Amino acid sequence: MGTWNTRGLRGSTLEELVNRTNEQYARKKLALIQKIPTPITPVRIDKEQRHITLAYFEQRSTVDYIGAVQGIPVCFDAKECRASTFPLANIHPHQVQFMDGFEQQGGISFLLIFFSADNQFYYLRHKRLKEFWERMEGGGRKSFTRQELEEEFYLAPKEGLFIPYLDGLQRDLKLRD
């Protein structure tokens, strides 16, 4: 299994924004989404600071978030990218498999991607992720560019929501009809 050290804080700002958005959705009774903690076993602890400085992951995580939106089961992972090209290596095969199974059971899976250089949030539909993933597995590009993304799935802050991903979910559902 992998270990956690300083890399564990990557995406913490994104995670905080998603958590705040989830709290607002819950307050408005629009969605109930929970962060799934990744189980770790501490190896080294700074006793003075009471911080874990080294740990290993007990098991592979599936996705970052899971819950329900108006009776629809949803799961998603939040990823951050500094460039305009997103490496598929940022997504693990077991995560894609989990999302595939979730979709087969009638749920909705997606990725929330934060393109930090441009301060842009994007809702990546599972169907589109699978197209990029299958292209990679077939020997093609191991990444996708922002030019390949569907323009209507960029998310703009509104009504005090940091990441209004329910807007992306609504567009996703319309395309599934």
3 is in an annotated binding site: no
> Residue 78 domain-assigned?
yes
Closest among 146, 150, 154 to 175, alpha carbons compared: 150
Domain span at 70: 28-36+62-176
pLDDT for position 6: 39
User: CA 133, CA 128: separation in Å to the nearest integer?
Assistant: 9
Please give the mean pLDDT across all residues of the chain.
Answer: 87
User: Up-side HSE of residue 81: CA atoms within 13 Å toward CB?
Assistant: 23
pLDDT in tens, 142-168: 999 999 999 999 998 887 889 999 999
Burial class (CB in 10 A: 0-12, 13-18, 19+), 120: middle
**pLDDT for residue 65 is more than 70:** yes
- Any domain includes 127: yes
Q: Residue 95 annotated as binding?
A: yes
Q: Tell me how far apart the alpha carbons of residues 145 and 155 are, in angstroms, rounded to a whole number.
A: 17
**Residue 62 assigned ligand-binding role:** yes
More confident residue, 132 or 46: 132
pLDDT in tens, 73-105: 999 999 999 999 999 999 999 999 999 999 999
4-48 confidence digits (pLDDT tens): 343 443 447 899 999 999 999 999 999 999 998 766 666 677 777
Band (51; pLDDT cuts 50, 70, 90) = confident
What is the number of domains present in the chain?
1
> For residue 12, is it within any domain?
no
Q: Does any domain span residue 16?
A: no
Tokens 């990557």 found at: 10
CATH number of the domain encompassing residue 165: 3.40.1350.10
What pLDDT score does 2 carry? Answer: 40
* CB count in 10 Å sphere of residue 146: 17
In a domain, 141, yes or no: yes
- Judge whether 64 is annotated as a binding position: yes
Q: In this structure, is residue 2 part of a structural domain?
A: no
> Does 147 map to a domain?
yes
Does residue 18 belong to any structural domain of this protein?
no
